[in-house]
Chains A and B, each alone.
Chain A
Amino acid sequence: AASVSDEEEPLIRQVVGGGDDNELELNAEHHFASFVQRFGKSYRDADEHAYRLSVFKANLRRARRHQLLDPSAEHGVTKFSDLTPAEFRRTYLGLRTSRRAFLRELGGSAHEAPVLPTDG
């Protein structure tokens, strides 16, 4: 195994298989060690490490659910796998609007795009 920097193409794709929860639990620590090395993660202390491992395990289960619900894509371990969904939303997402407001704008705004021809 080799560590890779943030800018490099990962050498190994960690994906989730179709095994049961016990199998996932057994392999989780190995996957987590590989994840920590691959993405150069470091944690404050042993407690933080243990907490992130528990989050990572939950995300492995979540990735497996996503794989079942979204079979045409590949889901698995990403650089966000040690974040809870709430942490992920708070840190990496930032669209501040409601779709209702956008549709209101679409309904009568000077900024509504003219209809373009789409045939020929």
Chain B
Amino acid sequence: LPDDFDWRDHGAVGPVKNQGSCGSCWSFSASGALEGANYLATGKMDVLSEQQMVDCDHECDSSEPDSCDAGCNGGLMTNAFSYLLKSGGLESEKDYPYTGRDGACKFDKSKIVASVQNFSVVSVDEDQIAANLVKHGPLAIGINAAYMQTYIGGVSCPYICGRHLDHGVLLVGYGASGFAPIRLKDKAYWIIKNSWGENWGEHGYYKICRGSNVRNKCGVDSMVSTVTAIHTSKE
């Protein structure tokens, strides 16, 4: 594995988006993962629709029937991948634009630009997470967002952070040496794409420390899923 890796340098990450006042983070995490996978499958960056999932995806977790995708009231990325397998895929952002509100489903199958071939959940192992990131593209992950409300920049590495996951984001890379002044040493970190616009964090991104010896990573390694895409050409 390389010491540093960032899918933004390889064209597999779309622009930073803004979910607005809507609990649809899960759909941004899922669309970001599929945008990356689709880029790897087709060589083309198609910016994909979250609103399609907000409006049309009501898939439930097979092991927890109460955990269903519910638009602005929340959802789960693996449920979204199941929905995408069943529905055929995602339209582009342009064809099905984001409104930030729950609405009636207007999905048009003829406008699908990216389709899921398969998805997997990755074990709680930093090396496996990094390997899956490098091999399959950006990964959909869950995180505890307690420190994100006040985050401005730098490598977040809290002494205390819960592992309860409440936010869906996209893991796009990692670095070996982000300087942590208080600890007087370089820290390895994950690079996370958020969906709160470019004027949050580091141009829309969050850095959190990584390493098997690091505790309190806000559960960042505990819910990781990867997706692969198939090429869909328009008739």
Q: Total number of A-B contacts with CB less than 8 angstroms?
A: 196
A106 to B127, CA, bound (A): 17
Interface residues of A (CB under 8 A from B): 4, 6-10, 13, 15, 59, 62-63, 66, 69-76, 78-81, 83, 85, 88-99, 101-106, 109, 111-118
- Nearest chain A CB to B16 CB, angstrom units: 10
Are A79 and B67 closer than 8 Å at their CB atoms? no
Residue of B with least CB distance to A76 = B152
Q: What residues of chain B lie closer than 8 Å to A70, measured between beta carbons?
A: 147, 156-159
Are B197 and A7 closer than 8 Å at their CB atoms? yes
Could you show 30 A-B contacts with beta carbons less than 8 Å apart? A6-B199, A7-B199, A9-B199, A70-B157, A72-B178, A72-B180, A72-B182, A74-B153, A76-B150, A79-B200, A92-B19, A92-B25, A93-B25, A93-B145, A94-B25, A94-B74, A95-B75, A95-B142, A96-B73, A97-B64, A98-B64, A99-B165, A101-B63, A102-B121, A104-B63, A106-B124, A112-B123, A113-B122, A117-B131, A118-B127
Chain B residues numbered 105-139 whose CB sits less than 8 Å from any CB in chain A? 119-124, 127-128, 130-132, 135
Say whether, besides A92-B21, A92-B25, A99-B223, A74 and B152 are in contact (CB < 8 Å). Answer: yes
Which of A8, A80, A99, A113 is the one whose CB lies under 8 Å from B128?
A113
Are A118 and B24 closer than 8 Å at their CB atoms? no
Determine if B45 is an interface residue (Cβ-Cβ < 8 Å).
no
Q: What residues of chain A lie closer than 8 Å to B178, measured between beta carbons?
A: 72
A31 to B225, CA, bound (A): 40
Q: What residues of chain B lie closer than 8 Å to A117, measured between beta carbons?
A: 131
Which of A71, A90, A102 is the one whose CB lies under 8 Å from B23?
A90
- Nearest chain B CB to A38 CB, angstrom units: 9
